[in-house]
Structure 1
């Protein structure tokens, strides 16, 4: 509990677990981006990419990185400000990044075992963050409605 300026007690309902998971997933996302980009470069040297597929793989990776920045920002801001809107945006962005991570596990031109391993870890981290995010959103909704 915190005390406001007027001496009234206020309850802080932000999720510490969500905050930790967001910082952890931010760090892992940087690692994922670097590893996936390195593997794409490796695949271009060793394998022959079909026409247009290399551009698609690289563009989707940069789209995923941009969405990841927004996802983390919205999640951290929503959690700290106890904002239902930002946490909701975080959950929507999480869904989009899960689909992009699935692309790199299942549908990209060449899928290496390393792609599957790092992608599966990322999706598991998204899943845990999403579950905690839904719980946090429910807590915010019940407290402010």
Structure 2
């Protein structure tokens, strides 16, 4: 933790986590790849396999819901980390649970699961786990 001089001899310590901020940025880039690859695989599976229309619609809807959750989660997490506020970071942690559940859906329960789905989702789940640990550490640092 670094100390920064503020005004008349006062010092303030910076507690935001650089590793968490880098992970938020990398996860944002990876999620764009994940979203596009998953969308392409859903289109591929709908052309190659007999994909029931209702399942196709639900898989696409869940993917777009996950994208909205992910954008909100990354925004709140990054904002909370940079401003050293527990509330946005805690909300980001809660949204991580929702995103992880949707990721597990695409890993295990979607209509057709390809090996590429498993690999992409496993990497995303790993980053969610790592972010969650760093979120908790950052929240603990902000509270103390």
- Alignment TM-score, normalising by the size of structure 2: 0.96
Between 49-58 and 21-30, the greater mean CA deviation after superposition? 49-58
Cα deviation, residue 139, structure 1: 1.0
Residue 127 of structure 2 corresponds to residue 88 of structure 1: no
Q: 2:8 and 2:122 mapped to 1: Cα distance?
A: 49
TM-score, length of structure 1 as denominator length: 0.95
How do residues 22-37 of structure 1 correspond to structure 2 at under 5 angstroms?
A: 22-37=24-39
Q: Aligned residue for 1:107?
A: 109
- For residues 37 and 53 of structure 2, what CA distance do their matches in structure 1 show? 23
Q: Note the aligned Cα RMSD (angstroms).
A: 0.9
Displacement of 1:3 in angstroms is 1.7
Decide which moves more: 46-55 or 66-75: 46-55
In 2, Cα distance between the equivalents of 1:49 and 1:126? 29
Structure 1 residues 95-144: Cα deviation after superposition (integer angstroms, max 9, x where no partner): 110000000000000000000000000000110011111111111112xx
- Deviation per CA, 1:64-92: give whole Å up to 9, x if none: 00000001100110000000001001100
Q: Which residue is equivalent to 2:64?
A: 62
What is the rounded CA distance, in whole Å, between the counterparts of 2:131 and 2:98 in structure 1?
14
Structure 1 distance, partners of 2:71, 2:14, is 25
TM superposition outliers: structure 1 runs of 4+ over 2 Å: none
Quick one: distance in 2 between partners of 1:6 and 1:110?
64
SS of equivalent to 1:11: strand
Distance in 2 (alpha carbons) for counterparts of 1:5 and 1:52: 62
